[in-house]
Chains A and B, each alone.
Chain A
Amino acid sequence: MSVTMNSGMPKGKPLSLRMGRDDFLMRAFVLAISLYLLLSLAFPLYAMLSKAFSTYRFDLSQIEFQVSDQAGAFSGDTVTAKTLNDKLKSISGDDLATSSDGRLSLVPLFPDFSFRSPVHYKIRGTTAETVYLVGSERHVGTDWLEVDSNTFRRVVLRPVQSIGFSNFTEYFSTPSLFESIENSILISLISTVITVSLAFAFAYALNRSCMRFKGVFRLIAMAPILVPSLLPGIALVYLFGNQGMLKEVMMGESIYGPYGIVIGSVFFTFPHAMIIITTALAISDARLYEAAVSLRASAWKTFWTVTIPGARYGLISAAFVVFNLVITDFGLPKVIGGQFNMLAVDIYKQVIGQQNFEMGAVVSVVLLMPAFIAFFVDRQVQKKQVALLSARSVVFDPKPNRKFDRLCFLYCSLIGIFIVGILGVCQFAALIKFWPYDLTLSLKNYNFDRMDGGGWGAYHNSIELAALTAIFGTLVIFIGAYMVDKTRGFRVGRTFFQLLAMLPMAIPGMVLGLAYIFFFNNPANPLNFLYGTMAILVIVTVTHFYTVSHLTAMTALKQMDNEFESVAASLKQPFYKLFARVTVPVCMPAILDIGIYLFVNAMTTVSAVVFLYSTDTTLASVAVLNMDDAGDIAPAAAMGMMIFYTNALARIIHLIISKGILKKTQAWRSR
């Protein structure tokens, strides 16, 4: 008998696995894809963070003067600007903090200065790095320069770079910038409440009524996903602008500002909320309703005690997703926001308008906060929802009720009209020659090559980007998910990878794009050559949409039998054979879903790419933005609708391919 009762495990180093060829290969893959995420996500974000803390200050001790007498003779006394200012206090500490573009006039240091005076000045830096300008002429270093009084007023000091919090101090002391935080949170909250309520009612009608045309309604509700978020803004201009078709509805209020942003946000976030809530409603347990009926609870009471609690995780999750989408969106407020400042637009204004990259980085950091919070709450809720999903429940089967069904039909029709209306207005506007003065139909607005934004080339680039993103992204994401799921041991590496894969969801596109400038446009970076290419656009888009695709892939992989890898190993077959012959074919539906998801988003995204495109890689979605920016609103609408048709076509093709491939490779599914 071999029972040994000593319970202490022998001390000493535990046995370590001798890795086989597969282990080496798979770990190499995990490392490679981790490296990819490090380079495309972590490092750029780090570069951005350090930019936010990179500050500029005038260093008065860096420059010194000699002042002549009235006759122009110098006594040889040298004095630094700092000494002068310590005495006079004419330049305050606040004035010394500045940005990379700062210039400081030195005249205030000389209270009796007059540009007509015959006094001459000698100037030099105290260090070899001191930079000052005479007019726009740049002077560097410690050589004396003599100027007359008239020229001296044109002398300005340039700042030196250091590290600190002063960018943040400045941000929070600029009322208009600080106000953006308030505005962004307010607008996001209002949009969230409206969208979630509307989407809940819509999902409720789809799930709980026996109304007709459910499929059509579902299809219509999904349409906003296929267009850039700024397209509803353009439609709203045509509907409610000063020359709008329904201008009177606004009763004198301007659509440019909070109203426009909220209506547009409801439009583009509606499908996201609807999908989540529909899922939540679909899993609620019919037995609870039977119980409620047997207890003679009123419909109203049943709704509040059964329906709402059952869908609560879905509602919370939808709310956070919508909040996140609205607060990080930049296209819509730019088009329809008017004077209403929002965080995401501030980044654009700081970077593109003022070339103030540091402040752009600061706003990015601020924008990360609410997005991060929303992200973590959503992750927690998602976990609970999944737990609810796996619990056994009986599917609710609605019974016809003429009054209720008609009400639902009416409501869904209204929502449907809203969505189709927005798209219809855009298409209509695109075909009008010159709104509102010449209403003849024409294709003039499709002559994109005459407009800003890259013309038809931009449209073709977008399709190329979308196709490359779909192919390359699906490849990286699915292989990454497979490796992280199936690699034996290597727990540290896999956990790290999972963390990286979840991160993109919390990073707004604008922030990612800006981070890419800082990281990739650095001459010291060996990856610098990517800057300005199609490749960087593909990389940023894949990274931006990584998380959802990764989760889709993980879900599909988790449904596979865990022992396939063990069987293949016992049969001495390499993992890649199993991957190609079994994993990929079985997961094909999920793989195609990831592909179309990436394609559609690559066509519509503006925020991730707006800082990164170059002349050769202009994009349709950015062209919509730029054409609208230049005042070519009708062509912008036309291009927006081109994106819509392309995405719709891509969806149809996806559907046909899916069906075809399913038939071919998934024959085993049918018995």
Chain B
Amino acid sequence: MRTEAAFEKSAEDGHEKAYLRIDNLWKNFGEFIALKDITMSVMEGEFICFLGPSGCGKTTLLRAIAGLDLQATGTIEQAGKDISNLPPAERDFGIVFQSYALFPNLTIEKNVAFGLENTGLAKPAITARVKELLELVGLPDQGKKYPAQLSGGQQQRIALARAIATSPGLLLLDEPLSALDAKVRVHLRHEVKELQRKLGITTVMVTHDQEEALSMADRIVVMNHGVIEQIGTPTDIYREPETLFVADFIGEMNQIAANYTPADGEEKPIVTIGNKSFVCAGAAGLRAGPVIAAIRPEDIIPHREDVGPLITEPENCLTLRIDEMEFLGSFWRTRLSGAELGEVELIADFSINAVRRLSMETGKQQVIEIPSNRLKVFAAKKGAA
């Protein structure tokens, strides 16, 4: 098994050697452009997630890979072979849908065996393979039942078994877990990931659930309005969002109207929020002027005082009033404001320990530090100030 880093590296310089290559793909439905010039690649054995809000084109892209919806222009290559306009039956993939799409009148066994028939396999071989698959998905005793007699999670596992029965080179999962209830969904995430790891099968999954994508994918393709916003490992995507959309869509983020001064020689890049200037991570190519500053609530560090050994960047420290505290189980969510920030209200998440240690309370003043490498700036949205 490769590591995330390995994938990242190989994907960067390995477009040529990728298992699945998509180049300059466009797709329109009449006037509406669903996919705009998509170029990306998937390495062999990799687990890729297409993540984005509904209507972003992620399912369209998956269906183009499967040959179910033909792209307008652009090429798709799988295992070095151009499959751009091949009918689905001549491509090499297995697919699982949100609706499971199990044949309701066939037993579980027959469902799983469906793709194995007429492939030259002898009957006993098929039976053996079905048994093996059912064991693989953890449902060895359910073969004689009909789909309607199984729970949703069980049905989806059968759909998975059916999809991998013929050992396809590529596994496509179209929102496979969306129809399940929360607990089953979390459970199944791990199982699917585990299975994929065990089989080493190149997998593309479509989801709108960021947690699912973060926990399962080797790399995530974030999409919006038919374009790819960012491709990267889950930690990259989370920690280093390249666009405001990614920053906003994945995890939570304080977004604050601010003023930006780029780095100049020795001077570090500065972002001014209200009357307070912070050293920030900076952004290449961004000019001085109004920007959006962004910081995740959990990246804000609380301190007992505004001086002390724990503080690394005193210039990024300030004292704010705790306006509101909300207990969310594993942490406290607080709303902070202060004269220095003007109108701006910051949301910060503090651990239970920190709250207890620093005896935080609504109405009290609290010193915080905003680490400069976690403070991002993005070009201001058009029309907003």
Complex contact flag A–B (Cβ < 8 Å): yes
* Complex Cα spacing A582 to B107, Å: 11
* Complex Cα spacing A4 to B167, Å: 35
What does DSSP make chain A's interface, helix, strand, loop or mixed?
loop
Complex contacts, A567 vs chain B, CB 8 Å? 95, 97, 101, 162-163
Contact A668 B115 (CB under 8 A): no
Contact of A70 with B by CB under 8 A? no
Given A573-B114, A666-B105, A667-B146, is A9 in contact with B26 using a C-beta cutoff of 8 Å? yes
Contact B40 A585 (CB under 8 A): no
Complex contacts, A7 vs chain B, CB 8 Å? 33, 36
A-B contact pairs, 21 of them (CB 8 A): A2-B39, A3-B228, A9-B36, A10-B26, A15-B72, A15-B85, A561-B101, A564-B103, A566-B88, A567-B162, A568-B114, A569-B87, A569-B88, A570-B95, A571-B166, A572-B89, A572-B166, A573-B114, A582-B103, A668-B148, A668-B149
Contact of A23 with B by CB under 8 A? yes
Contact of A136 with B by CB under 8 A? no
Complex contacts, B94 vs chain A, CB 8 Å? 570-571
Contact B72 A2 (CB under 8 A): no
Mask, A580-614, CB within 8 Å of B = 1, is 01100110000000000000000000000000000
Complex contacts, B71 vs chain A, CB 8 Å? 15
Please list the 5 inter-chain residue pairs (A to B) with the smallest Cβ-Cβ separation, ordered nearest first: A571-B115, A20-B87, A668-B146, A569-B88, A563-B101
Mask, B64-81, CB within 8 Å of A = 1, is 001110111110000000
Mask, B13-30, CB within 8 Å of A = 1, is 000000000001010100
Complex contacts, A561 vs chain B, CB 8 Å? 97, 99, 101
Contact of B227 with A by CB under 8 A? yes
Contact B40 A17 (CB under 8 A): no
Contact B106 A582 (CB under 8 A): yes
Mask, A11-25, CB within 8 Å of B = 1, is 010111111111100
Contact of B181 with A by CB under 8 A? no
B94 to chain A, nearest CB (A): 6
Contact B117 A573 (CB under 8 A): yes
Complex contacts, A9 vs chain B, CB 8 Å? 26, 28, 33, 36, 72-73
Given A16-B85, A582-B103, A582-B105, is A566 in contact with B68 using a C-beta cutoff of 8 Å? yes
Which residues of A29-83 have CB atoms within 8 Å of chain B's CB atoms?
none
Complex contacts, A581 vs chain B, CB 8 Å? 103, 106, 114
Given A570-B168, A582-B103, is A14 in contact with B40 using a C-beta cutoff of 8 Å? no
Contact of A216 with B by CB under 8 A? no
* Complex Cα spacing A671 to B230, Å: 46
Contact of A1 with B by CB under 8 A? yes
Complex contacts, A573 vs chain B, CB 8 Å? 114-115, 117-118
Which residues of A372-406 have CB atoms within 8 Å of chain B's CB atoms?
none
A644 to chain B, nearest CB (A): 36
Contact of A339 with B by CB under 8 A? no
B137 to chain A, nearest CB (A): 16
* Complex Cα spacing A467 to B254, Å: 73
Complex contacts, A667 vs chain B, CB 8 Å? 146
Identify which of B40, B86, B118 contacts A2 (C-beta below 8 A): B40
Complex contacts, B315 vs chain A, CB 8 Å? none
Complex contacts, A665 vs chain B, CB 8 Å? 105
In the complex, besides A9-B33, A14-B72, 8 extra interface pairs with C-beta distance below 8 angstroms are A1-B242, A7-B33, A14-B73, A20-B89, A489-B70, A570-B163, A571-B94, A572-B119
Contact B38 A2 (CB under 8 A): yes
Complex contacts, B36 vs chain A, CB 8 Å? 4, 7, 9
Contact of B147 with A by CB under 8 A? yes
Contact A586 B104 (CB under 8 A): yes
Contact of A6 with B by CB under 8 A? yes
Contact A18 B86 (CB under 8 A): yes
Identify which of A2, A4, A586 contacts B105 (C-beta below 8 A): A586
Complex contacts, B162 vs chain A, CB 8 Å? 567, 571
Contact of A669 with B by CB under 8 A? yes
Contact A6 B37 (CB under 8 A): yes
Complex contacts, B119 vs chain A, CB 8 Å? 572
Give the A-binding residues of B (Cβ under 8 A): 24, 26, 28, 33, 36-40, 66-68, 70-74, 84-91, 93-95, 97, 99, 101, 103-106, 114-115, 117-119, 146-149, 162-163, 165-166, 168, 172, 227-231, 242-243
* Complex Cα spacing A581 to B104, Å: 11
Complex contacts, B84 vs chain A, CB 8 Å? 15
* Complex Cα spacing A570 to B103, Å: 14
Given A2-B38, A9-B26, A666-B105, is A22 in contact with B89 using a C-beta cutoff of 8 Å? yes
Give the B-binding residues of A (Cβ under 8 A): 1-7, 9-10, 12, 14-23, 488-489, 561, 563-564, 566-574, 577, 581-582, 585-586, 665-669, 671
Contact B95 A566 (CB under 8 A): yes
* Complex Cα spacing A374 to B32, Å: 37
Contact A4 B227 (CB under 8 A): yes
Complex contacts, A3 vs chain B, CB 8 Å? 227-230, 243
Contact A1 B26 (CB under 8 A): no
* Complex Cα spacing A85 to B28, Å: 72
Nearest opposing residue in chain A for B95, CB measure: A570
A23 to chain B, nearest CB (A): 6
B164 to chain A, nearest CB (A): 11
B62 to chain A, nearest CB (A): 11
* Complex Cα spacing A4 to B36, Å: 8
Complex contacts, B91 vs chain A, CB 8 Å? 570
Complex contacts, A6 vs chain B, CB 8 Å? 37
Nearest opposing residue in chain A for B74, CB measure: A15
Identify which of B39, B73, B231 contacts A15 (C-beta below 8 A): B73
Given A666-B105, A668-B146, is A18 in contact with B87 using a C-beta cutoff of 8 Å? yes
* Complex Cα spacing A62 to B339, Å: 111
Complex contacts, B70 vs chain A, CB 8 Å? 15-17, 489
Complex contacts, A18 vs chain B, CB 8 Å? 85-87
Given A2-B231, A3-B229, A668-B148, is A570 in contact with B88 using a C-beta cutoff of 8 Å? yes
Complex contacts, A1 vs chain B, CB 8 Å? 228, 230-231, 242
Contact B103 A566 (CB under 8 A): no
Contact A12 B73 (CB under 8 A): yes
Complex contacts, B149 vs chain A, CB 8 Å? 668, 671
Nearest opposing residue in chain A for B84, CB measure: A15
Complex contacts, B73 vs chain A, CB 8 Å? 9-10, 12, 14-15
* Complex Cα spacing A572 to B116, Å: 9
* Complex Cα spacing A580 to B265, Å: 74
Contact B148 A671 (CB under 8 A): yes
Complex contacts, A12 vs chain B, CB 8 Å? 73
B23 to chain A, nearest CB (A): 10
* Complex Cα spacing A588 to B34, Å: 38
* Complex Cα spacing A534 to B42, Å: 62
A402 to chain B, nearest CB (A): 43
Contact A668 B104 (CB under 8 A): yes
Complex contacts, A571 vs chain B, CB 8 Å? 94, 114-115, 162, 165-166
Nearest opposing residue in chain A for B149, CB measure: A671
Contact B87 A23 (CB under 8 A): yes
Contact A19 B99 (CB under 8 A): no
Complex contacts, A14 vs chain B, CB 8 Å? 72-73
Complex contacts, A488 vs chain B, CB 8 Å? 87
* Complex Cα spacing A5 to B226, Å: 11
Nearest opposing residue in chain A for B35, CB measure: A9
Most chain B CB inside 10 Å of its own CB: which residue of A20, A569, A581:
A569
Nearest opposing residue in chain A for B150, CB measure: A671
* Complex Cα spacing A271 to B168, Å: 55
A267 to chain B, nearest CB (A): 41
* Complex Cα spacing A5 to B224, Å: 12
* Complex Cα spacing A571 to B88, Å: 9
Complex contacts, A566 vs chain B, CB 8 Å? 66, 68, 88, 95, 97, 101
A178 to chain B, nearest CB (A): 49
Contact B89 A17 (CB under 8 A): no
* Complex Cα spacing A12 to B72, Å: 10
B1 to chain A, nearest CB (A): 26
Most chain B CB inside 10 Å of its own CB: which residue of A9, A17, A488, A489:
A9
Most chain B CB inside 10 Å of its own CB: which residue of A19, A571, A581, A586:
A571
